Amino acid sequence: MNQLDQLKQHTTVVADTGNFKQLAQFAPRDATTNPSLILKAVQQPDYAPLLADTVAAHKGQPLEEIVDHVLVRFGREILKVVPGRVSTEVDARLSFDTAGSVARARRLMALYEDAGVGRDRVLIKVASTWEGIQAARILEHEGIHCNLTLLFAFCQAVTCGEAGVTLISPFVGRIYDWYKKSAGAAWDEAANAGRNDPGVKSVTQIYTYYKKFGIGTEVMGASFRNIGQILALAGCDLLTISPELLAQLQAADAPVPRVLDAEQARAATVHAVSFNEASFRFALNEDAMATEKLAEGIRAFAADAVKLDKMIGGL
C-alpha cells in the first residue's frame, strides 16, 4: 500500500482545500476550508461559473450574506465528494466577538439546513481566542458542531476541551515556522524533525492530555509543511492535509507505523489543569509563539476575507 492508504489505517484523513474537483483522487473522509483556500479556489477559471451563479442568485442581499452563500455553496459541492464533514469558517474579523461569531455560525448552519444538509455533516470553524471558544461553547449546546482553528497553545486546547467543542485544529506547520525563524542560523533541521518537530510535539502533548483525561474533543493536526510531520502524527484522531502533500503520500510506499496511541496516552503521567479567562489570557500571553501566530493568522484570514468581499462585491 502507498503511504496515504497506510495512514488511513491509523488516522482519519481530511483534505485541506476549497478545490473540490481535486478531492476524489485522494478519497478523504472530510474536508476543511478557510477564507484563504476559498479565495484561492474562486480565482481559478474552473470555479468562475459557480461563483457568478451564486452571487447572481442572491443579488441585492447584504454583502456578508452573499459571502456566506458562496462559502456554503463550496461546502455543499465538497460534500458531494466526501462522505463525512466539511468545515466552513466564520469571518475572522469576528474573532474577538462572541455574539457576532454565534450569529454568523447560526446563519451558516441555517443555509446548509435550507439546502438539505444536516448538522452532522458540517463543522463551523472559529478562531481559538477566548471569545471564539465561548462562542463554540454556546453553539455546541445548540447542536452546532465546531472546529476550533488557529490553535497554537496548550491553554487553548485545554479550554476547548472544557468547552465541549467537537474538534480542534492545532497548526503544526506554523508552529514549526516560528521556531525555525526564531532560531535563525542556529536551526538544526535534522534535530528538529519527526517527533522532535516543535509542531509535532505540541499536537502530541494535546493528544496525550485529551486521551489521558477522557476528553471527547477530536484532535486534527493541520497546517503541514512536509510529510515527515504527517507521518510523525500517524494515529492522531484526524489529520487535514493539502492536496500537494496528499499526492506525495500517495506516491510513496515506505512503511507508516502508528506513532500516537490512545492506550499509551492513558498510561502517561500527566497532571490536569484548568483555565479561567484571566489565566487563559495570561498563559497565552506567556507563549510568544502562540501569541504571535494567533494574531498573524487572524490578520491573514481577515485580509483574505476582505479580498473575497471585494471580488464578490464587484460581480
Catalytic residues: 125
Residue ranges of alpha helices (H) inside the chain are 3-10, 35-42, 48-57, 63-79, 98-114, 130-141, 154-162, 172-183, 198-212, 227-231, 243-251, 262-266, 277-286, 288-313
Cell reading at 80? 458531494
Beta carbons within 8 Å of 102's beta carbon, 6+ residues apart: 135, 138, 139
Place of cell 467537537: 166
Query: Which of 39, 35, 17, 36 lies closest to 26, judged by CA?
Result: 17
Query: Which of 109, 108, 126 lies closest to 118, judged by CA?
Result: 109
Interatomic CA distance for residues 261 and 283, integer angstroms: 28
Query: Which of 306, 225, 311, 310 lies closest to 35, judged by CA?
Result: 306
Query: Which of 196, 229, 227, 233 lies closest to 188, judged by CA?
Result: 196
DSSP β-bridge partners for residue 240: 14
